[in-house]
Structure 1
Amino acid sequence: MKVIHQTTTQLIVEDRPWLIGIFMIVMALIFLAAGMALASSGKIFGALMMVLIGGGVPLLLGALFVQRVRLTFDRGTGTVTRTRRSVLGLTETSHPLNRVERARVGVSSDSDGTTYRMELKLGSPDDFVPFTTYYTSGKRPERMAQAVNDWLATCQAPIRPVEATAER
């Protein structure tokens, strides 16, 4: 999650979950290697199960959940566009830039701890647009929300500071 382009007329923030993608590929390769080892020792059924389930599940999960998400704030067109790309395709949604009131940090707490994600607060009608579908630990969502609010403030009335909201 980082700012990849920033000018007075355009701000682009992007999330590329490389670590999750690499983890899924490594996990699939481990199961494929184990399946090949079983096949070489003559255990064909075990090898097939290891390859199909052990290798297929991580690849399927990676295809479903590893997505590059980009928010493009463009004063020239007066829009904010959320682009989500995965191996399954491209999804793009746009909103008028003047509907964006501010960026905020959404909070999710459970027995494992507290995680965060950046969200856009839209007005008229009130709505929230999450930057990512998942919550994460660390300060990146707060830094991204602050970068968005700072950029929005360069042409609008002062933006309120980043607020954290609880979600269960």
Structure 2
Amino acid sequence: MTARREVSLDLTEAELERFGRRLGRVAFDEGVFVCLYGELGAGKSTLARAACRGAGVTGPVPSPTFTLVNQYEVDGGAAVQHADLYRVDTVEGLLDMGWEALVQSVGAVFVEWADRATAYLPSDRWDIRLDFVDSPSRRRVGIVALGSAPPIPGAEAHP
């Protein structure tokens, strides 16, 4: 059976958090670069926070909107990094925030507003798009595994 490389889910906020934890565990174990896309308020921060928890972060997980990157050490020093590119609008801004080191880092990397760095994203990654649906309490989550990124966790449970 071939692993799914793309999946679309409609999730409540609680389901999004559970899925994020599963996603974070696999992203951490496999060292996946995860790009998050969606409108303001679509759930990128909720998913990123849950993924950081799933990757083993136990302390507070604040938004990196103003710090640009938050780094957490888990499992004996391995890194989980959470970036927010909302305020980055130039290549110089990417370089100043340490983008090259972020892309080359080992461990899980979660990047909100990844569309601000499209030309500079690694080819092996998960792209996750969160969209509003008719119900204000649900989100559509589209996930694509690109390049040699591992299969999407939980995709087998959602035909």
TM exceeding 0.5: no
The answer to which structure has the higher helix fraction is 1
The answer to which structure has the higher strand fraction is 1
Provide the TM-score with structure 1 as the length reference: 0.23
Provide the TM-score with structure 2 as the length reference: 0.23
The higher relative CO (CA closer than 8 Å, separation ≥ 6) is in 2
Who wins on radius of gyration, i.e. which is larger?
1
